[in-house]
A and B are shown apart, each in its own frame.
Chain A
Amino acid sequence: MLEKALRGSKGYYAWVGLLIILAVVGLTAYLKQFDYGLGVTGLSRDVSWGLYISQFTFMVGVAASAVMVAIPYYLHDYKTFGKIVILGEFLAVAAVIVCILFIFVDLGQPTRLLNIILHPSPRSIMFWDMCVLLGYLLLNFIIGWTVLGYEKKGFPAPRWVKILTYIAIPWAISIHTVTAFLYAGLPGRAYWLTAIMAARFLSSAFAAGPALLILLCLILRRFTSFKTSNQAIQSLAVIVTYAMIANVFFFMLEVFTAFYSNIPGHMVTLQYLFAGLNGSNNLVPFMWIAAILAFLGIILLLIPRVRRNEKALILALISVFIATWLDKGIGLVLGGFVPNAFGLVTEYVPTVTELTIIMGVYAIGLLTLTILYKVVIGVREQTEVGDISPGV
């Protein structure tokens, strides 16, 4: 089936070429880091995790969100999602590959990566995160590829795939729960030490992931023969709406607990993020933009007439996506390191090398996604032609 990805329009070749160039540029930046060490990044003794780990965290959510298409289709037989369920699964595959790459580029000794398997440590949440992420990658790839393969030959998918799809549903919940546990179990980081962390992670994932999926569907509808129905897009948009409302609600719960209890350790990071602390306020504009976009997105999505307007819908989805990215892809991880163990603020500014590496990782992710989606479109074009031809 992979041969479908080798033939395409000029636009397709140009897009793939661009992604390969960006990936190579990212790789050269990474070689610099590999040679010198993580000193090429903006990381420090106090802010020891930065954009690599925060992008990892955000993308685990995007990966998990495939379940928002899978549950209605596989569990509730919601046929409208039948065509796009594979887009969700392949988005998950690309997202998990991005996650693994972000973990890899974050390691100080990447050549020792296999130590996680050679010396398995079940007490470490990172061990479980590796297990669930690898499992999820395999599940989604096997399900997507097999279903598509049978579709190409004109057969219904085999029974064992059906069983895998049922396993993949709780598995998706597990990957983001375990990722939340990476943070929520640490004694010294008050901003992360919250029982609702996994719920927040899942709600923001189920907003951001489907929002991205709709945007991808709209792009495919414009540039390819893959036409997602308006009904499927509108159903997904409703999912985005309520997930985003839950996400904002959960965040407000954090704000209430911190400020009504008046416990300094629980208030201080929120103060730093939204008002600045001791003159350090790098993240303040990002957090307020996130807040404004979150409410803008929710309002636009809540009004049915607006939601059905494609332009307004695109604006709303981009707002939701950027808001969740700023909250989780920046504020959550970086905020956890402020203040440090001594009550002091160290700010983090990523370097150009670091940003280039991030660009490269995302380019590889987009390349994976492009190839997988190209295969899907190629197979669908072939089968649809096959369907029509006898009648012509």
Chain B
Amino acid sequence: MMNRRDFLKIMASLGIGSALVLEGIDRIGTAADTIPGSKNLQAGHWGMVIDVSKFKTPEDIQRVAAACHKYHNVPEINDPQHEIKWIWQEDFEHTFAELESEYLSEKVKQMQFPVLCNHCENPACVRVCPTQATFKRPDGIVAMDYHRCIGCRYCMAACPYGARSFNFFDPRPYIEEINSAVPTRTKGVVEKCTFCMERLDKGQQPVCAEASGGAIIFGDLSDPDSPVRKVLRDNFFLRRKVELGTGPSVYYIIGGGGSNA
């Protein structure tokens, strides 16, 4: 039998426990919170601006994509049916199919656009996921829990950007050199770009931004003084399929106007 003294002790510890839990929940709510003394990067809404004019050749984008894929243990499967890709390139008429025109300048026609997950404000993939294996963090990053994903691929049907890849078989034999800083994936789960959230925690920029030589600018869209907001203020920009209401967080500027031209 429990005596009164033990009972009070247990109740007191439960009280402290739940206070801690509530404190934790409170913390999740404010994304811009900084853990004192840590170097991690935080934002109200992470976003990316891609200055396409700074990619002089298709190889420039390939270099960026290769750096991303190498870092993130993305398998190299040279088969369009089963390939996994987080960031790759498409030309104007495929990236912005609805803006296609026969009078498009040769320059724009030849341009290559890096495409990746748009980390939407209203992500359709998150809405449809039956297990919350894909979810939106308070800082705007659309993340994946590879251990919870059941592989139903509803998110792939929902994503209007073709940003998601499915592991049709064990990807590990197709990874040349495994980077132990980030996970590898198993067969039967969906994966995509993570905006390098584990690097942000260490105070580092995303791999693609780092490898792009200034062509990809990454920062806090909610901060008017951030570099991304400055570039957006000074340039005309495009986003993919805005008419769908997804609110993509990846912006494209193609040069030819503004101070960055």
A interface, CB within 8 angstroms of B: 36-39, 43-46, 48-49, 103, 106-110, 112-113, 115-116, 118-119, 121, 123-127, 130, 182, 185-189, 265, 336-337, 340-344, 346
Contact = CB atoms under 8 A, between A and B. Distances in A.
B182 interface: no
Interface string B89-116: 0100111011000000000000000000
Nearest to B187: A37
B67 interface: no
Interface in B129-158: 129-133, 148-154, 156-158
A126 to B, nearest CB: 4
A188 B151 contact: no
B235 interface: no
B82 to A, nearest CB: 6
B124 A112 contact: no
* A-B interface, 7 closest residue pairs, ranked by CB to CB distance from nearest: A108-B151, A188-B160, A108-B188, A341-B162, A39-B168, A37-B187, A126-B130
Given A121-B132, A125-B128, 11 more contacts: A38-B151, A39-B82, A108-B152, A108-B166, A109-B188, A126-B130, A130-B130, A185-B128, A186-B124, A187-B244, A187-B246
Contacts of A189: 157, 160
A91 to B, nearest CB: 26
Given A107-B151, A109-B189, A37 B168 contact: yes
Nearest to A112: B150
B188 A38 contact: yes
Contact of A37 (B98, B158, B161, B169): B169
A233 to B, nearest CB: 39
B244 A44 contact: no
A37 B167 contact: yes
Nearest to B122: A187
A48 B166 contact: yes
B97 A342 contact: yes
Contacts of A108: 149-153, 166-167, 187-190
B213 to A, nearest CB: 26
12 contacts: A37-B168, A39-B168, A45-B166, A106-B152, A108-B152, A110-B151, A119-B131, A121-B132, A123-B127, A342-B95, A342-B162, A346-B80
Nearest to A118: B131
A340 B90 CA distance: 13
Nearest to B129: A124
Contacts of B130: 115-116, 121, 124, 126-127, 130
Contact of A45 (B81, B95, B150, B152): B81
Nearest to A36: B169
A343 B97 contact: yes
Given A45-B80, A123-B127, A342-B90, A188 B150 contact: no
Interface residues of B, number: 48
Contacts, number: 139
Contacts of A343: 93-94, 97
Among A38, A108, A182, A337, the one with the most B-chain Cβ atoms within 10 Å of its Cβ is A108
A32 to B, nearest CB: 12
Contacts of A36: 169, 187
B172 interface: no
Interface in B27-46: none
A44 B80 contact: yes
Contact of A124 (B128, B156, B190, B246): B128
Nearest to A42: B81
Contacts of A112: 131, 148-151
A79 B178 CA distance: 70
B165 A45 contact: yes
Contacts of B160: 187-189, 341
A392 B89 CA distance: 85
A104 B149 CA distance: 14
Contacts of B161: 188, 341
B121 interface: no
A326 B113 CA distance: 38
B83 to A, nearest CB: 6
Among B98, B152, B158, the one with the most A-chain Cβ atoms within 10 Å of its Cβ is B152
Contacts of A130: 130
B124 A187 contact: yes
A121 B246 CA distance: 20
A109 B168 contact: no
